Amino acid sequence: MFFRIKKFEKNLYQIPFFPLNLLAISNSVGLEARNLMAATEPTPPKLKLGIAITVIAYLFFAVASALVYNFPVTFPTIQIIFIQNFVSLICILPLSLRNGVKQLATKELPLHLLRDLFGIGSYFLFFLAIRYLNLVDATTLNYTAPFFVPFVWRIWREEKIASNLWWSIIVGFIGVAIILNPTKQLFQLGFVYGLFGGISSAIALTAIRVLNLKKEPLSRTLFYYFSFGTVLSFPFALAVWETPQHSEWLWACGIGVATAIAQILLTVAYRHGTASYLSPLGYSTVIYNIIIAYFAFHQLLGWRSLVGTLLIIVGGTLTYLMKKKPITVIQTFASQQASKAKPPL
């Protein structure tokens, strides 16, 4: 598989990185906010394969979230972050180093560090939210990042927010308000963690978008993310270290392995698709977590969580799709069947 990935390394910078719970949300949001009415992207010839791999990738992100939920509230969150990053780093090293250490050289180290600080912060807040809220609400609040990205992009790049984008932002924030239930729950700690996790994720995603515009390959971005995450979290984890039980070691290492597998699968998926088609599938993580919460943790969602989650998914999906000219689902999948050409490298 690594051999096949090597063939499209030169275009890895075009692939969105999903760091959050990240677990992840497409970094294309910031750029697309500038031009929502751009021309329709050509349908990739192997779009169905890309969609299938993407859906599987997000299943691994959901598994990572569920493993975090297994930990007792008293177990240090920063320790989970450290083990996750360290294990993920080991998993992706063959991908990052396959062309030698020189491949890791970069002129964008400060930007990598900024992205990593907010990425780790987003993970930390998301993991805290998971331990105070039900699994679905915590995941959904973290997926509010696409609604904050245009504001971060506005400050960072000094560009106006496209008028059409406001509809998706409004729909998303209505969903957030329904979940939060301002009359009773606005200041509950878990909701604060979840919402600020989404904001931190938005800043990290904007930094990733800038890195992509500078053509930083994904393998390098992954290496610096997990490396910085390991180094930055280690002293804090050491200060509060608790020796995990046997099951907790398995859970913590499982989080790292699941995250790394999801990242690699997304890399392969974007060989056969583009952000416009595959990014909205990130919300399948929420669907997975609804199923996991019900069967594994016996959590039944109230109407607020269900309605709010639906609105956030709709709003977030519109954020990605509104830039495309109207095209039906039938046309999308019919057009790919007519083409036998390989997807562009």
Query: Under a CB-based contact definition with an 8 Å cutoff, are residues 159 and 153 in contact?
Result: yes
Structure tokens at 205: 């995603």
Residue with tokens 């998914």: 313
Query: Under a CB-based contact definition with an 8 Å cutoff, are residues 195 and 124 in contact?
Result: no
User: What is the reported pLDDT for 16?
Assistant: 37
User: What is the reported pLDDT for 38?
Assistant: 35
User: What is the reported pLDDT for 165?
Assistant: 72
User: What is the reported pLDDT for 247?
Assistant: 93
Q: Where are the domains of the chain?
A: 2-34+43-337
Structure tokens at 99: 């062309």
Q: Is the pLDDT of residue 261 over 80?
A: yes
**C-alpha–C-alpha distance, residues 306 and 320, integer Å:** 22
Mean pLDDT, rounded, of the chain: 77
Among the ranges 10-19, 34-43, 180-189, 310-319, which has the highest mean pLDDT value?
310-319
Specify the pTM. 0.74
Average pLDDT of the residues in 109-134? 91
Lowest mean pLDDT among 9-23, 207-221, 237-251, 306-320: 9-23
Q: Is the pLDDT of residue 36 over 60?
A: no
- Peptide bond preceding 23 in cis form (omega within 30 of 0): yes
* Residue 119: closest CA among 197, 63, 193, 58: 197
**C-alpha–C-alpha distance, residues 138 and 129, integer Å:** 5
pLDDT per position as a tens digit, 67-101: 999 999 899 999 999 999 999 999 999 988 888 88
Q: What's the burial of 11, exposed, middle or buried (CB within 10 Å: 0-12/13-18/19+)?
A: middle
User: What is the reported pLDDT for 184?
Assistant: 57
Structure tokens at 173: 């924030």
Q: Is the pLDDT of residue 1 over 60?
A: no
Q: Is the pLDDT of residue 294 over 90?
A: no
**C-alpha–C-alpha distance, residues 323 and 86, integer Å:** 38
User: What is the reported pLDDT for 113?
Assistant: 92
User: What is the reported pLDDT for 223?
Assistant: 92
Q: Is the pLDDT of residue 319 over 60?
A: yes
Query: 86: number of CA atoms within 13 Å, CB side?
Result: 15
Average pLDDT of the residues in 155-161? 76
**In the chain, % of residues over pLDDT 70:** 76
**In the chain, % of residues over pLDDT 90:** 28
Give the confidence band of 150 by pLDDT, cuts at 50, 70, 90.
Answer: confident
In 10 A of CB 6, how many CB atoms?
13
**C-alpha–C-alpha distance, residues 200 and 291, integer Å:** 27
Query: Under a CB-based contact definition with an 8 Å cutoff, are residues 69 and 135 in contact?
Result: yes
Q: Is the pLDDT of residue 331 over 50?
A: no
**C-alpha–C-alpha distance, residues 311 and 285, integer Å:** 15
Which of the 8 DSSP states describes residue 272?
S
User: What is the reported pLDDT for 14?
Assistant: 36
Q: Which amino acid is at 111?
A: L
Residue 24 CA, distance from chain mean position = 0
Give the confidence band of 212 by pLDDT, cuts at 50, 70, 90.
Answer: confident
Query: Under a CB-based contact definition with an 8 Å cutoff, are residues 148 and 227 in contact?
Result: no
User: What is the reported pLDDT for 268?
Assistant: 81
User: What is the reported pLDDT for 17?
Assistant: 36
Give the confidence band of 272 by pLDDT, cuts at 50, 70, 90.
Answer: confident
User: What is the reported pLDDT for 269?
Assistant: 82
Please tell me the chain's helix, strand, coil percentages from 3-state DSSP, rounded to the nearest 5. Answer: 70, 0, 25
Give the confidence band of 324 by pLDDT, cuts at 50, 70, 90.
Answer: low
